[in-house]
Chain A
């Protein structure tokens, strides 16, 4: 009687399988229509590095010590600074990273003596040329400062 038992058990398992997919037909979707809807990023996400903005000064604290540039195993970072005064500190004039070579090891963030480097939360990094992979962190900082000020203004109007 193994023949009929096999058919019966096989049929039952098939019906059970159909039940599983039928229930999934009515479950909420897990995907979103990406460019228009985005899901919250994981707090552990580490993008390319960027300069931190400190509240008290409203800008970064880079002292152009070049530790990040020296410690980077892939030669990603190019930092340039100049002395504005004869016996003063150096001022940052250009901070460019070549993200196409970055392995996100994080040594630069750890070695920074003023903790002015942090991981950004940028993930839309599509580019068409090598030049698109070069990110000017100072320009990025200026943009972020502008955005923050614009936000403050709108909040001030609302309040």
Chain B
């Protein structure tokens, strides 16, 4: 592996990117289908059933429809930014995949600052949303974008504080080391509060209901992507679902033992499958939450972050630091 072109780091990166591009599309197609199925069954409907077995090909048909649509830009919109935003929203998503540990050794680039990289790049999503909302020259889009920024500023803090308490325990920002140190006991049992805070904040970070106020269909038409149609909208949509996967994959690696089975029992299942099973289960939970709770009001959203999540995560971090120091 270490010699010649095939073993070089560049080749590994390119191959990884190609696989990631293919995987992220397939994953988004599957997740959209899953979302519609989960919502359908919660509302006692079957969901998509017509195209393919149990409607499995429905999202592909929807994608074809989106690609076939004309690109429409509103009058007086900022042309460059308007078309840049959907592309920009997809970049952090691809970077996130670079450092995700799918299995032992199955990581495209094992950086010693992997955790930092994922969260640093995930903030670009907010920038893309703001760009799209601003460039649309539409009051609903702008309102959605502004809300998105306020929400992300509020929820980034508890998210990172929750992650910090795990990092403190492992003394490393590398994903593979964090996962390796959960061989017997997952961190969800040691840090249940941090895990809960992470999941709540992550739901808000990905703009998912009940924290979907940036797009709030009932108040803001469609929020920041009101003026987007066709593939521009499709890219925002794809990015949302791929973001969901990344957030859940990070949660799996930080709190649910990554490629390890529970309590060191692997049951002969390869690590990749453990990782994917846990990630998709977390995604299912996020969907389940979306179809259970109504959207929170903007002041409730802010109060919840600043008055509950941030103090609790700070206390959790301080206690973790003290305990780690004593042990």
Contacts and interface: CB of A to CB of B under 8 A. Distances in A.
Interface of A: 7, 14, 17-18, 20-22, 24-25, 27-31, 33
Interface of B: 38, 41-46, 49-50, 288-289, 291-293, 308
A20 B289 CA distance: 11
12 contacts: A18-B292, A20-B292, A21-B288, A21-B291, A22-B288, A24-B41, A28-B44, A29-B41, A29-B44, A30-B45, A31-B46, A33-B46
A27 B46 CA distance: 11
Contacts of A17: 292-293
Contacts of A25: 38, 41-42
Nearest to B293: A17
Contact of B44 (A14, A22, A27, A33): A27
A14 B199 CA distance: 14
A70 B43 CA distance: 49
B293 A31 contact: no
Main secondary structure of the interface of B (DSSP, over half): loop
Contacts of B292: 17-18, 20-21
B288 A31 contact: no
Q: Which 7 A-B pairs rank lowest in CB-CB distance, beginning with the nearest?
A: A21-B292, A30-B44, A31-B45, A21-B42, A17-B292, A25-B41, A24-B42
Given A7-B308, A22-B288, A14 B293 contact: yes
A31 B308 contact: no
A1 to B, nearest CB: 15
B46 A29 contact: yes
Contacts of B45: 29-31
A17 B291 CA distance: 10
Contacts of B44: 24, 27-31
Given A24-B41, A27-B44, 12 more contacts: A14-B293, A17-B293, A18-B288, A18-B289, A21-B291, A24-B42, A24-B44, A25-B42, A29-B45, A31-B44, A31-B45, A33-B49
Nearest to A24: B42
Nearest to A21: B292
Contacts of A28: 44
A15 to B, nearest CB: 10
B314 to A, nearest CB: 15
Contacts of A31: 44-46
Contacts of B49: 33
